[in-house]
Amino acid sequence: MFVIAGLGNPGREYENTRHNIGFRVIEQIAEKYQISMLERKHKAVIGKGYIDGQKVILVKPLTYMNLSGESIREVTDYYKVDVTAQLVVVSDDISLDVGQLRIRKKGSAGGHNGLKNIILHLGSENFIRIRMGVSDKPQGYDLKDYVLGRFTDKENELLEETGGKAIEAIRMILQGDADGAMNRYNTKKKPAGE
């Protein structure tokens, strides 16, 4: 069993913002694999289903981004998963351009408050994370305003494709090939067309 958690903020005012890209990927997975996301427990909206025969728990924490660890710790404790091998966290990353992914099996929070809180609550940096590029804030912008802003139409088109890549990476991780997912999807070059 795997827990796949996408980070974001609950509430209509945060829908489709840069900071909520983790929620967006969870919604794409739920739609693709027909997993109902209606259950509310562990301070989250959760869905249970299967991806390629592997049981998964999809999680959208309702704690707000900066307290994501509270929910994720409750879920991982309840389902008794090994966080180093059976937890995948999807979050936004301003150091990557829109369209880029970065997969890691461990590491620091990199300044991301949601990841920082998860590390605090799990007591470990050793969990798989997929960081989705949302691009850096333009000069003069406030970081909070920027990450709570919305994507352009062009960026939204690119994100559909990137979400598909994230799902393929997750499928590889579920089959025990996190290294293969990292080799295939980690990239530093700008997406085509930019």
Residues serving a catalytic function are 19
Residue whose token pair is 């974001």: 8
Q: What are phi and psi of 66, to 5 degrees?
A: -70, -10
In order of 24, 35, 123, 146, the CA distances from 43 in angstroms are 18, 19, 19, 26
Residue from 144, 121, 104, 133 nearest 14 by CA: 144
Characterize the bridge pairing of strands 87-93 and 101-104: unpaired
Kindly give the interhelix angle for 153-174 and 21-32, rounded to the nearest 10 degrees: 60
Question: What is the C-alpha to C-alpha distance for residues 114 and 91, in angstroms, rounded to an integer?
Answer: 8
DSSP codes of every residue in 70-112:
HHHHHHHHHTT--HHHHEEEEEEETTS-TT-EEEESS---TT-
